[in-house]
């Protein structure tokens, strides 16, 4: 039985085998059961937003988050991003503070990172869904097999991608990346706990990423969010 989601064609092709595996069928079954009891975020049509906005062949930068925001109206399928008009969660606030320090930008009004995704920044949560008000509630339903396969697919099929691994969780994904083909930048997580201890601010990842892209003959990212 085919259980392929509505996902952009390049991803559908490279991840075709994953859709037929037992774990992916279990994800679908679990989500059906969960939705009978709880609210699940992001909405079904946004679960694969990162994939549908940034095709495989367009990926230039990868940012890895842990799981979606679990508050009502926050998650939009892109890691660290919130829907337009939603107050910025603490980690996103610190991301924007570092960005503004790097470039002298005015702090953004919107927290929607879709402009980044459209330019080739793949904003991947390791777990693609979450139960309302229950962080990390879907971390064991199988998503990480799928997103690990995604990271491996980027490593195998793309060249000179800049991977931004923020915090211990993201750094564990380093083993999936071919460091002979790609560049990895690491730092602490932008959450207040990490940032306030000096592990986030000053990493200059936005500046460094664009320097790397430019040096590799690629168009830099316009990081501005209005």
Q: 201: which 2 tokens? A: 């601010």
**Residue with the two structure tokens 């906005």:** 53
**Residue with the two structure tokens 């990162």:** 50
Residues 6+ apart with CB under 8 A from 162: 60, 61, 62, 182, 183, 184, 185, 209, 212, 213
Q: Whole-angstrom Cα distance, residue 179 to residue 28?
A: 33
**Of the residues 67, 84, 148, 156, which is catalytic?**
67
CB 130 within 8 A of CB 70: yes
Strand-pair category, 61-65 with 162-166: parallel
Q: Please, how many CA atoms are within 13 Å of residue 213, restricted to the half-sphere of its CB?
A: 22
Residue 178 annotated among the catalytic residues of the structure: no
Question: What positions carry a catalytic annotation?
Answer: 67
């Amino acid at each position: 039985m085919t259980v392929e989601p509505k996902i952009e064609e390049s991803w559908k092709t490279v991840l075709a085998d994953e859709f037929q595996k037992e774990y992916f069928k279990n994800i679908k079954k679990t989500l059906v059961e969960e939705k009978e009891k709880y609210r699940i975020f992001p909405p079904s049509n946004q679960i694969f937003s990162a994939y549908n906005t940034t095709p495989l062949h367009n990926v230039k930068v990868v940012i890895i988050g842990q799981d979606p925001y679990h508050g009502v109206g926050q998650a939009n399928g892109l890691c660290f991003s919130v829907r337009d008009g939603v107050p910025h969660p603490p980690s996103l606030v610190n991301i924007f503070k570092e960005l503004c320090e790097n470039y002298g930008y005015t702090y953004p009004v919107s927290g929607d990172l879709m402009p980044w995704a459209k330019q080739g920044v793949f904003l991947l949560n390791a777990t693609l869904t979450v139960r309302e008000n229950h962080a990390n509630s879907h971390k064991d339903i199988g998503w990480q097999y799928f997103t690990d396969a995604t990271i491996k697919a980027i490593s195998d099929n793309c060249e000179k991608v800049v991977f931004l691994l923020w915090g211990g969780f993201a750094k564990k994904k380093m083993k999936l990346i071919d460091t002979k083909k790609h560049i990895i930048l690491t730092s602490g997580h932008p959450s207040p706990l990490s940032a306030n201890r000096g592990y986030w601010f000053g990493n200059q990842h936005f500046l460094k990423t664009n320097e790397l892209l430019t040096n590799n003959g690629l168009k830099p990212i316009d990081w501005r969010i209005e």
